[in-house]
A and B are shown apart, each in its own frame.
Chain A
Amino acid sequence: MPDTGLTADAAAMIRGVAEGEAGALRRLYDAQASRLFGVAMAILRDRDAAADALHDAVVKIAARARQFDPARGEAGAWLAAIVRHAALDLARARGRETPTDDPTLGDGAVAPEALDRLCETQEAGRLRDCLAALEARNREGILLAFVHGLSHAQIAARLDLPLGTVKAWIRRGLARLRGCLA
């Protein structure tokens, strides 16, 4: 996660885009592109597809900049959410629901230890603790879905579990997270 200084910068740049300030979108792109491209790459694992997703997302960001409300959410998270959903839409269009299309994530998948990186902010620390309290497979399912854009079917194939079990576990895991973070 960006620190609060970067977040304040991102919020100011989004405001610049909303106000039609010359060069504001380019500055926002330069500051955020590698982080956001990383988010798209983790989901699509293909540089051309991830570039398409980031393209679509930045065009959306330009159009929606005025809808960003810093009182209702953090700027970096707002940008990342738009990129994630653009990447997920592409992943869905590429037939993600078929488990046989499951790309082997290999060593690229986020390892459980990666959660240790989630402690830079107070919110991230709480999320890490709540995830740590979940059952390991439950936690892994949530990470594979959020970070790598895997579908229920792909998670089931990867964890070698029945599809129905995976669906139920993820639903339960999310409900527990909500309770834990409340």
Chain B
Amino acid sequence: MIPSDPEALDALAAEHVLGTLDARQAAEVARALPVDAALRETVARWEARLAPLAGLAPPETPPDGLWDRIEASVATRAPAPVVPLRAIPGRAAPPPRPDRFWKTWAAGSTAVAAGLAAVLFLRPADPPRMMTVLLTSRDQPAWLVETEGAGLRLASLNPRPVEPGRVQQLWALPPGATAPTSLGLVPEGGQARIAPGLVRPEPGMLIEITLEPPGGSPTGRPTGPILFIGRLAPAAGT
């Protein structure tokens, strides 16, 4: 459990940076860091406080062959080209809403997801329906991701311009996985389908959109900041 109490959170972050957490606690912090902004901030402050201590380790020349090994690893991780997601034709993105409207919605992902789920999933369905609302770093709802059969569907809730010269890339991180899977580039239209087979949607799966260079991440891993993030959960009422 990542504590919400600021003192306990600070103590956990401090020992994470110091290195005294055991393997289980350290793994828990590593999993929480991408999604927990308060933890990330607290850890960053402790990294800055203790950073000078790294200077106490005497420098030492690494083994000769190490660079070649690193180069080979970085090269094999260079991924297959990133495919654009299939835009859903004939459906324009919903018109932008005034900011004020969304501020009242920024009550946290669970409440928003539950509310939208109740509206959206009144129809019966075969596979268990899952959904999430991807939130901005300031907890503003931005995208709806829902399962569609064995695939996924992405819809913009709050269209906003992409930084010029950059693209948005969609990723999924199944629970327990160490690296996210690229689902593709988010199309301009704001609505897209992710065909079944790339990932198997499951509760707890993290879905995120990162800002990437044209053509998508050159490394196969997210390289840019996380713009939007959410966690798949069973849709309420199913």
Query: Is there contact, CB below 8 Å, between A170 and B223?
Result: no
Interface membership of B221, Cβ < 8 A: yes
A159 CA / B22 CA spacing, docked (Å): 19
A37-B49 in contact (CB<8A): no
Closest to B48 in A: A73
Residues of B within 8 A of A124 (CB): 52, 55
Interface centre among B50, B57, B223 (most CB of A within 10 A): B57
- Interface residue A174 (Cβ < 8 Å from any Cβ of B): yes
Q: A146 near B53 (CB under 8 angstroms)?
A: yes
Task: Tell me the chain B residues, 28-60 only, with Cβ under 8 Å from chain A.
Answer: 44, 47-60
Residues of A within 8 A of B221 (CB): 63-64
Contact A146 B19 (CB under 8 A): yes
Interchain CA distance A126-B141 in the complex, whole Å: 42
Per-position contact with A for B61-80: 1 when CB-CB < 8 Å, else 0? 11100110111011001000
> Size range of the interface on A?
35 or more
Q: Does B224 contact A (CB under 8 A)?
A: yes
B199-238: contact bitstring with A at CB < 8 Å (1 yes, 0 no)? 0000000000000010000110111110000000000000
Report the minimal beta-carbon distance from B234 to chain A, rounded to whole angstroms.
31
Cβ-defined partner of A146 (8 Å) among B18, B71, B224: B18
Question: Chain A residues near B222 (CB, 8 Å)?
Answer: 63
Contact A33 B62, CB 8 Å, known A67-B225, A118-B52, A147-B56: yes
Contacts of A62 in B (CB 8 A): 74, 77, 219
Q: Which residues of A contact B55 (CB under 8 A)?
A: 1, 117-118, 120, 124
A29 and B44 contacting across the interface, CB-CB below 8 Å: no
Whole-angstrom distance between the Cβ of A45 and the nearest chain B Cβ = 11
- Taken residue by residue from 1 to 19, chain B's Cβ proximity to chain A (1 for < 8 Å, 0 otherwise) reads as 0000000001100110111
- Would B56 and A47 count as touching, CB distance under 8 A? no
The interface size of chain B toward A, counting residues with CB under 8 Å, comes to 45
A10 within 8 A of B: no
Asked whether A93 lies within 8 Å of B23 as measured between CB atoms, the reply is yes
In A74-114, which residues have CB < 8 Å from any B CB? Answer: 74, 76-77, 80-81, 84-85, 88-89, 92-93, 97, 110, 114
Known: A80-B51, A152-B20. A73 touches B223 (CB 8 A): no
Chain B nearest CB: distance from A153 CB in Å? 9
Q: What are the residues of chain A within 8 A of B17 when measuring CB–CB? A: 81, 146
CB–CB A34/B20 < 8 A: no
A65 at the interface (CB under 8 A from B): yes
When A and B form their complex, which 4 residue pairs have the shortest distance between CB atoms, in order from nearest?
Answer: A77-B51, A124-B52, A42-B57, A37-B62
Q: 21 A-B pairs, CB-CB below 8 angstroms?
A: A25-B71, A34-B62, A35-B59, A37-B60, A37-B62, A50-B62, A54-B70, A58-B70, A58-B74, A59-B73, A74-B51, A77-B54, A81-B54, A114-B56, A117-B55, A118-B56, A123-B48, A146-B18, A174-B15, A174-B18, A177-B49
- Apart from the given pairs A84-B19, A151-B22, 14 other A-B contacts in the complex at a CB distance below 8 Å: A1-B51, A38-B58, A38-B59, A62-B219, A63-B223, A66-B224, A67-B223, A72-B44, A73-B51, A74-B48, A81-B51, A97-B22, A118-B52, A174-B14
Please report B residues at the A interface, Cβ cutoff 8 Å. Answer: 10-11, 14-15, 17-20, 22-23, 26, 44, 47-63, 66-67, 69-71, 73-74, 77, 213, 218-219, 221-225
